[in-house]
Structure 1
Amino acid sequence: MIDPVPPTSAGLLLHHRGPAPRLLLAHTGGPFWARKDARAWSVPKGLVEPGESHEQTARREFVEEIGVPVPTGPLVELGAFRYTSGKTVVVLALEVPADLVGSDEDPACEDLTQRAVSTVEVTWPPRSGRVVVVPEVDRAAWWGYDEAREKLVAGQVPVVDALVAALAR
């Protein structure tokens, strides 16, 4: 039997250098993740659809999950990051000006339910048969490199080092 190809996702990591470099991460939505912080954050990302490029997916998913347009600027591919599950996430980075943080266009938001964001159905409590609709991500925030390494899901922690290496070039 041939193993099915593991899914591939693509995501968009906004970052700024500023006096204190920061990365924009999204917190996974839903009741299971509500009280979790460490390893509960991610680059906004989603599955690559047939015929879609990594860039198209990353841009689409950013809008769907964060609820605002992608800022303008060139994207830099940081690489493909494989989870222990076999899933691969291709991450593209977009540098934004530091003064975006706190401005009217800042994509960070303490409660993304205030915006039109994508939702998913989950069974909650587990095995209850009760289905609830929750946002894919419930908030987005800026984190420094060290904080991001603690917040990110384990399979995405290497993204921080890949960004640092790309910025050093």
Structure 2
Amino acid sequence: MAIEINIVLFGIGNAGSALINKVIKSREDITVPVPDIRFPVITNSRVAFFEKDADGYAWEANFIRFAVPFKMDDVVEYVIEHDLQNLIAVDATPSAELTAEYPDLVRTGFSIVSLNESLQYLPENFEKGIKFLTESRGLGYKFIKGVPGDAAAAGNALYNAVLEVVGKVKEGVV
């Protein structure tokens, strides 16, 4: 049985949407075993869609129809209430405010995968602190710098980073 990975996706623009579509497409390729990647929470800068049982993978329609305004506390409460394991926060935003939430996300049990360009402008010790925090908790961290190309390239880079983090977390080698 494949390990279940729960991704909370921050940002459903080009890169975030491409990641979801890449995961859906990878499920169709039965020749390559992949983890069971789920998206229980998907957000944009204003609203979040919180998955309910049997929502299926019509994520765009569900997001448009059922997304609600949210705070980070709502996301944390949701993952705790639903006892979600193997959490990865994927940051596909340009939000400096979201990067400030990384320490609290890690303390809640999230690994972090980010292509948030605002990380490049933070002090070097911020990223070192996040790496130390994730490693000390047996979690993973991956920052993807400057993805050239289109949305598909960004989606592929995020997907590969998620698989890398999953491998590290699964093996306990961070």
Mark yes or no: TM-score above 0.5.
Answer: no
TM-score by length of 2: 0.32
Relative contact order (C-alpha < 8 Å, sep 6+): which is higher? 1
Higher strand proportion, which one? 1
Based on CA coordinates, which of the two structures has the bigger radius of gyration? 1
Higher helix proportion, which one? 2
